Amino acid sequence: MMDRATIAERPQNFEILPKRSANGEVHGDLLEVAMGPHHPSTHGVFRMDVVLDGERVMKLKPVFGYLHRNHEKIGETTTYLGTMPYTDRLDYFCSLTNNWGYALAIEKLAGLQVPERAEYIRVITAELTRLQNHASLVGFLMQDMGALGTPLMYAFREREKILDLFEALTGARMMCNYMRFGGCRVDLPPGWLEETNKVVADFPRFIDEFEALLSGNEILMARTQGIGALSQELAINASITGPMLRATGVNYDIRKVDHYGIYDRFKFRVPLGEHGDVFDRYMMRVLEMRESVTILEQALRDLPEGPIIDPKAKLRGFRPKAGEAYGRIEAPKGELGFYVISDGSPNPYRYKVRPPSLINLTVLEDMCLGQTIADAVVILGSVDIVLGEVDR
């Protein structure tokens, strides 16, 4: 092993002196870096082609398609119901909300009614999904900032409890394939409600613990406040949705606007940010978890007895009349829309997914310009993308 003195005395064989322009200003060469597709901060297979001046981002182009499997073409060649398990693979963190979005579009297309109990179960599963998505997103965001492990493991500890509930209900932890056109697949197993009540009652304690560790943390504030700020005008014009839009202060939550399902029956607030920076996006997630807990408490309290699927709903040989419908829901990541055109045959003529993760990346370059490369990682983490949905 060389000692310190020997290292310092080693000859420098390469030119590292900065170049100077005519007026004496020092600047280095621009450096083009391909961040990804295997960079751990990209949460999957996503690439950012970044042009750097020192540490500053001068240009950033996102590159997609590494996970592309033409989900929409598969949807056109399978039956309506056959696409349901495929929707699990879009945003694989939130399969239950994907199921709901797709079921909602088809219910609009075919004019199906959903029984009361099924609507309540849908709300319960969707809000549980939101809890575990936001918890793990915050964990991943901390991981991107260098808080290796601990916050993420805390979040995963809670997520594990919710995934156990999903497994008990649907048979799968992540690929739930639970909803059907006009209802849900199976009824709640015995003891599930008690277990869910326990998890929901415990959850605020976890949020408190999380907040005590993080929200007032000086390092977190220094790394996130004023970073990646987004203006309201740009956010609306660029079709940004979900917590990222609300962090800029725009009051637009599809649960409140469309009242799809039975969301008009619950009392909950829509948290709004002020600056649209990474810190606000972090706070949005924490506050939305608290609101989800209140929705869950109300839904679990009011859950009625009854059938879980419309008896007239056809599972096999399902052929909606020719026409089209667009169904959208407030998924944890933003507006998740499904646009389906039917020509009266057993499979859709056109099946399109409006992925919130992809469209929220429209402004990634705008947010990162002029920031350091380390902040670009944090900004990308705060967008909350899942590549299964971005590339489809």
Partner 1 sequence: MEALEQIKTRVEAAVAGAKLEIIPNDSPSGHRSLLIDAAHAMSVATFLRDDSQLRMDYCSCVTGVDWLDAVLKEKVKVRKLVEGVEKEVEETIEKQRPGVLEAVYHLYSMQLKQGPVILRLRTGNRTDQVHLPSLTPVWRGCEFQEREIYDLYGVIFDGHPDLRRILMWDEFKDHPMRRDYVEPDDYEYEPTPHDDVLSKAKHHYPSPAAAK
113 binds partner 1 per the rule CB under 8 A: no
354 binds partner 1 per the rule CB under 8 A: yes
The residue among 281 and 392 lying less far from partner 1, judged by its C-beta, is 392
Tell me how far apart the alpha carbons of residues 64 and 364 are, in angstroms, rounded to a whole number.
13
The residue among 61 and 198 lying less far from partner 1, judged by its C-beta, is 61
* Near partner 1 by CB under 8 A: residue from 145, 240, 283, 329: 240
150 binds partner 1 per the rule CB under 8 A: no
- Closest by CA to 280, choosing from 307, 242, 315, is 242
Could you count the other beta carbons within 10 Å of the beta carbon of residue 208? 11
391 binds partner 1 per the rule CB under 8 A: yes
- Closest by CA to 309, choosing from 85, 171, 117, is 117
- Smallest gap, in angstroms, from Cβ of residue 371 to partner 1? 20
Count Cβ atoms within 10 A of the Cβ of residue 74 and give its class: 0-12 exposed, 13-18 middle, 19 or more buried: middle
Tell me how far apart the alpha carbons of residues 392 and 69 are, in angstroms, rounded to a whole number.
6
310 Rama class: left (phi>0) / alpha (psi -120 to 50) / beta: beta
- Smallest gap, in angstroms, from Cβ of residue 97 to partner 1? 17
* Near partner 1 by CB under 8 A: residue from 30, 31, 40, 70: 70
259 binds partner 1 per the rule CB under 8 A: no
* Near partner 1 by CB under 8 A: residue from 188, 221, 238, 262: 238
* Near partner 1 by CB under 8 A: residue from 78, 217, 225, 239: 239
The residue among 147 and 359 lying less far from partner 1, judged by its C-beta, is 359
The strands making up 323-331's β-sheet, listed across from edge to edge, are: 323-331, 334-342, 350-354
362 binds partner 1 per the rule CB under 8 A: yes
236 binds partner 1 per the rule CB under 8 A: yes
* Near partner 1 by CB under 8 A: residue from 81, 168, 257, 374: 257
134 binds partner 1 per the rule CB under 8 A: no
322 binds partner 1 per the rule CB under 8 A: yes
Q: Which DSSP string do the residues of 3-49 spell out, in sequence order?
A: -HHHHHHS---S--PPEE-TTS-EE--EEEEEE-SS-GGGSSS-EEE
User: Contact letters (x/-) for partner 1, 324-343, by CB under 8 A?
Assistant: xxx-x------x-x-x-xx-
Three-state helix/strand/coil letters over 268-296: CCCCCCCCCCHHHHHHHHHHHHHHHHHHH
73 binds partner 1 per the rule CB under 8 A: yes
3-state secondary structure of 219: helix
250 binds partner 1 per the rule CB under 8 A: yes
Residue 278 CB partners (closer than 8 Å, separation 6+): 141, 223, 224, 225, 227, 228, 378, 379, 382
The residue among 89 and 161 lying less far from partner 1, judged by its C-beta, is 89
Do residues 126 and 99 make contact, with C-beta atoms less than 8 angstroms apart? no
User: Contact letters (x/-) for partner 1, 89-108, by CB under 8 A?
Assistant: -------------------x
Per CB under 8 A, which region of 36-44, 177-185, 294-302, 361-369 contacts partner 1?
361-369
The residue among 241 and 371 lying less far from partner 1, judged by its C-beta, is 241
252 binds partner 1 per the rule CB under 8 A: yes
Three-state helix/strand/coil letters over 136-187: HHHHHHHHHHCCCCHHHHHHHHHHHHHHHHHHHHHCCCCCCCCEECCEECCC
111 binds partner 1 per the rule CB under 8 A: yes
Tell me how far apart the alpha carbons of residues 186 and 208 are, in angstroms, rounded to a whole number.
34
The residue among 108 and 185 lying less far from partner 1, judged by its C-beta, is 108
Residue 249 sits at the vertex; the CA angle it makes with 247 and 254, to the nearest 5 degrees, is 80
340 Rama class: left (phi>0) / alpha (psi -120 to 50) / beta: beta
Could you count the other beta carbons within 10 Å of the beta carbon of residue 339? 18
The residue among 116 and 324 lying less far from partner 1, judged by its C-beta, is 324
- Smallest gap, in angstroms, from Cβ of residue 304 to partner 1? 25
Per CB under 8 A, which region of 34-42, 194-202, 293-301, 348-356 contacts partner 1?
348-356
- In the complex, the residues that contact partner 1 under the rule CB under 8 A are 64-65, 68, 70, 72-73, 108-111, 234, 236-240, 250, 252, 257, 320-326, 328, 335, 337, 339, 341-342, 349-350, 352, 354, 358-359, 361-363, 391-392
